[in-house]
Structure 1
Amino acid sequence: MEPYKRFVERILNQGQHVLGQLLRRSEQGTNKRAYVVAIVVVFIILLPYTLFVRPPQDFPAGALIEVREGMSLSEIAELLRSEGVVRSSFVLRATIFLTGNQRNVHFGDYLFNKPRNVFYVARAIAKGEYGLEPMRIRVSEGATVREMAELFSEKFQRFNTERFIRAAEPMEGYLFPDTYFFLPNANDDLVLRTLRQSFDAHIATLEEEIAEFGKPLEDVVIMASLLEREAHNARDRRLIAGVLWRRLSQNMLLQVDAAFLYSLGKGTFDLTKADLSDSDDPYNTYVHKGLPPGPIGSPSLDAILAAITPIDNGYIFYLADKNGITHYCETYACHL
C-alpha cells in the first residue's frame, strides 16, 4: 500500500513541479502556449484523482459496512463501490493487488467516521483497521425495558428494538443499570446478554444477605424497583422499605404512586381519582394488595440493599412533598 501510494504522490509532485515551471514561463512571456499546456497538465493530474481516488460525494460516513467471511476480493470491492465507499471497484482491487495484499483482506464490520480516499480504504481492508471504537452508554437507575430499547436503538445500527423488547420484557428489573462500553456493531442480543449478566454478577455479591433476609429474590427486586422511584437517598429508601414491608405484613394496601409511572406514565401530582380506583390496572397498589406483579424498572444495587436492610421505626405511612422531602407517620391521622 505505502509503496504504491508513494509512487502516486511522486507523480503528483512531479506534475506540480512541471505545472509551476509552465506557469512561470507563461508569466514571463517566454512561451505563449505555456498557459494552455498548464491547463492540460492540471487536467491530466487531477482527472484520475477526481474519477478514482478521492471519496465519493455520498460517502457513508458513520455507517457500518459488513465484509462477510468468504467474500472474494472482487465481491468486496463491488460491495464497497455499491455502498458508496469507493468510486471504482477496479481501482480498489488494483491498489490491493499492487501492494500484494489480495490474500490478506480482513472480514468483519467496518466503520469510516469521515470520507476516506481509496488508498485509506484499501489499507483498512488489508490490515483489518475496522474503525470500531467503544461507545460509552449509561443505563440510568430505574430505567425500564422500553426506555433501554429507546436508548440503545439511537446508538446502534444493528439494534432491533422490537426484538429486544420481546426478549427483555420478561426480564424487567433484572437488567442492571450501569455504565457500559459497546462497539458500534453491537446488536440487541449482545446488549441484552450483557445487561443480564451484569445483574447476575452484582446480585451474586448479595447472595448471603438476600438469603438471610428470608424473602424471595423476585419480591426483593420488585420492592427495590419501587424504592428506586420513591426515594433518592439511601436512608429514605431504607425507611420506606420499612414502611412497605410492614404494610405487607399487616395485609394493607401499599398505595405506591411510583407504580402508576410504570403502568400509566403518570407521576403523583398527575393522578386522578379514576386512576386511583382503576381495578383493571394490575400495578394499581391502591386497589390490589401485595406487591405489583413485577418490577417497575431496573433497581440499582443501593435500592436492592435498601430492600433487604429496611429501617423499621414503626411507621406505616409516608408522603413526599413537592420539595422532595419525605414525611413519615405511625397513624393515619398523623398522615393526614
Structure 2
Amino acid sequence: MPTSERKKKVRQKENVFVRRIVAILILVFVVVLLIGGISFWNFWQSGQKPLDTANSTTELVEIPLGSSNKQIGAVLEENKIIKSAVVFNYYMKLHNQSGFQAGFYDLAPNMTLDQIASTLKAGDTVQQTLLIPEGYTIDQIGTAIEENTPYTKQDFMEVINDEAFFQAQLKKFPELLQSAADATDTRYHLEGYLFPATYTLTPGGEIDGLVAQMVQKSADVLSNYYDEIATRGITVQQMLTLASLTEKEGSKDEDRRNIAQVFYNRLAIDMPLQSDISVLYALDEHKELLTIEDTQVDSPYNLYANRGYGPGPFNSPSEASIQAVLYPQANDYYYFVADITTGIVYYARTLDEHNQLVAQYVNN
C-alpha cells in the first residue's frame, strides 16, 4: 500500500477517535449541566419552603439597621429561621421585595419567605428588654446578657475590662466614678455601678452602648444622694460597698437599715466587717455555709481577714440598700445572724450573745 494511502487511513482513524472524544465530552458536559440544573432547581425549590413546617416556636431575631437583603438572609439562616440565605436574597430580588425595617422580630422556622418578608416590611417588631436584678454581680450580669440579648458574655466582659471605656465614663461622670478610679485591687472598676433596672435594647446597637446605659442609670439615681454621701464622710465607692453587702445580708428594709448600722459600728472601732458575702465574692462561688478555711482565703475582698471597706462593691445594690446605708437605723449592735429557715435577723451586742443566736438559729 502506498505511503500516502496509509497516511490517509491513519488520519481517518484519528479523526474518528477525536470525534468520539468530543462527543463523549459533550455528552459529559450535558449530563453535568443537566445534573447541576436539576440540583440547582431542587435547591431553589427547597430553599423557598419553610425550614420546618412543624416548628412554630419563635426565635428573637435582630435585624440591624441598614441591613441588605443578603445580610438579612445571613442573619435568618444563622438563627435557623430559613434554609438558605442565597435563596432568600435572590427570591426577594425576583419578587421586588424591599423596605425591610430594622428591629427585633419573633420569627419561626415554619414561616414562608413571603410571611417573613411581610413581617419585616410591616415592622412588626418586639421591644427587646433586659432585666438586671438587684444584687447581681458583673459575672451574673454577663450571663443574663448572653441568655437574653444578641450579645455574648465575652462581648460584655471585653467592655467591662476596657480601660478606655472606663476612662470615657469617668470623664462623663467624675462624681460617680472618681473613687472607683482611685481604688486599688478591684476585680472590676464598674462592679456596683451597673444599676439594677430594665433596659431597652436598640436594634443594631453595640454592647458598649448598653453598658453605658447602666452607668448612666447609676449616675441618675446617685445624683440624688451625693450630698448625703459627702456629709457621712465616705466615698461613693465605700457607700456602694456597704450597700452591696446590705443588699445580700438583709431582705427587708428594716433589717437593711439595722445591718448598715452594724457595719458602721464595726468600722468605728476598727473591727472587721466579717460579711460572708465578701468571702463568697473572694472565692468566686456560691456556698450555703462557709468553713473556717473559707474565711481565711487570701483576697483583698475577704472582709474577715481585712479591716475596712475592702477594694469596692460586691454587686449592684438596689436603691433601697443605698438608702439603708445613707439613712441607717441607730443601734448599738455589733453582730447579726439570720435564721436560714425563716429569714428573721437577730442582733447582738456581744460575741457571746451572737454565738448563742448562731447555735439556736443556724447550727440547729
TM-score (norm 1): 0.70
Contact 1:318–1:327 at 8 Å: present in 2 too? yes
Question: What residue identity is the alignment partner of 2:221?
Answer: H
Q: How far is 1:305 from its partner?
A: 0.5
* Cα distance in 2 for residues equivalent to 1:78 and 1:252: 62
Q: Structure 2 residue aligned with 1:305, among 320, 323, 330?
A: 323
- Cα gap change, 1:230/1:82 in structure 2, threshold over 3 Å: closer, same or farther? closer
Matched, 1:155 2:124: no
Q: What code does the residue aligned with 2:115 have?
A: Y
The answer to whether 1:92 aligns with 2:87 is no
Task: Output one character per residue of 1:54-96: Cα deviation in whole Å (capped at 9) or x when no partner.
Answer: 434599963646577485x6x5697589763674644422321
Deviation of 1:117 (Å): 2.8
Question: Cα distance 1:216–1:68, how it changes in 2: closer, same or farther (>3 A)?
Answer: closer
Q: Distance in 1 between matches of 2:270 and 2:75?
A: 66
Higher gyration radius (CA): 2
Contact 1:319-1:326 within 8 A present in 2 as well: yes
- Once the two structures are overlaid, the 10-residue window that deviates more, 226-235 or 85-94, is 85-94
Structure 2 matches for 1:1-336, cutoff 5 A? 54-57=49-52, 62=59, 64=61, 66=63, 69=66, 71=68, 75=70, 84=82, 87=87, 89-96=89-96, 105-106=99-100, 108=102, 111=105, 113-114=107-108, 115-124=110-119, 127=121, 129-157=122-150, 159-168=151-160, 169-182=188-201, 187-265=206-284, 269-278=288-297, 280-323=298-341, 324-336=343-355
SS, match of residue 93 in structure 1: helix
Distance in 2 of aligned mates of 1:194 and 1:230: 27
Displacement after TM superposition at 1:326 (Å): 1.6
3-state SS of paired residue (2:347) = strand
Equivalent-residue separation in structure 2 for 1:162 and 1:51 (angstroms): 36
Change (3 A) 1:164 1:268: closer
Structure 1 residues 76 and 249: CA distance shift in structure 2, 3 A: closer
Are 1:65 and 1:111, in contact at CA under 8 Å, matched by a contact in 2?
yes
Q: Go from structure 1 to structure 2 and tell me whether the alpha carbon gap of 1:221 and 1:62 turns closer, same or farther (over 3 Å shift).
A: same
Measured at CA, do residues 190 and 80 of structure 1 come closer, stay the same or move farther in structure 2, by a change above 3 Å? closer
Structure 1, unmatched stretches of 5+, are 1-46
Report the identity percentage: 26
Contact kept? 1:138, 1:179, Cα under 8 Å: yes
1:198, CA displacement in angstroms?
A: 1.2
Q: How many residues align?
A: 277
**Could you tell me how far apart the structure 2 residues matched to 1:160 and 1:52 are?**
29
Q: What are the Cα deviations for residues 250-305 of structure 1, in whole angstroms up to 9, with x where unaligned?
A: 11111111112222256675211111223x12222111111121111000000001
- CA–CA distance in 1 between the matches of 2:76 and 2:245? 53
User: How far does residue 208 in structure 1 lie from its aligned partner after superposition?
Assistant: 2.8
Q: CA deviation at 1:149?
A: 0.7
CA distance in 1, matches of 2:158, 2:223: 26
Rounded to whole Å, the distance in 2 between the matches of 1:66 and 1:165 is 24
User: In the aligned structure 2, how far is the partner of 1:164 from the partner of 1:283?
Assistant: 23
Task: Spell out, residue by residue over 1:227-252, the C-alpha distance to the aligned partner (whole angstroms, 9 max, x if none).
Answer: 00111111111111111111111111
The residue identity in structure 2 corresponding to 1:62 is E
Once the two structures are TM-superposed, the CA of residue 322 in structure 1 deviates from its matched residue by 2.1
DSSP 3-state at the match of 1:170: coil
State the SS of the aligned residue for 1:239.
helix
TM value normalised by structure 2:
0.65
* 1:153 to partner: Cα distance: 0.2
Secondary structure of 1:171's match? Answer: coil
CA gap 1:183/1:330 in 2 versus in 1, 3 angstroms: same
- The answer to which of 77-86 and 263-272 deviates more is 77-86
2:318 partner letter: S
Whether the 8 Å CA contact 2:240–2:313 is kept in 1: the answer is yes
Q: How far off its partner does 1:314 sit?
A: 1.4
Deviations 1:75-134 (A, max 9, x none): 5697589763674644422321xxxx6xx6346456451243333344455x4x344311
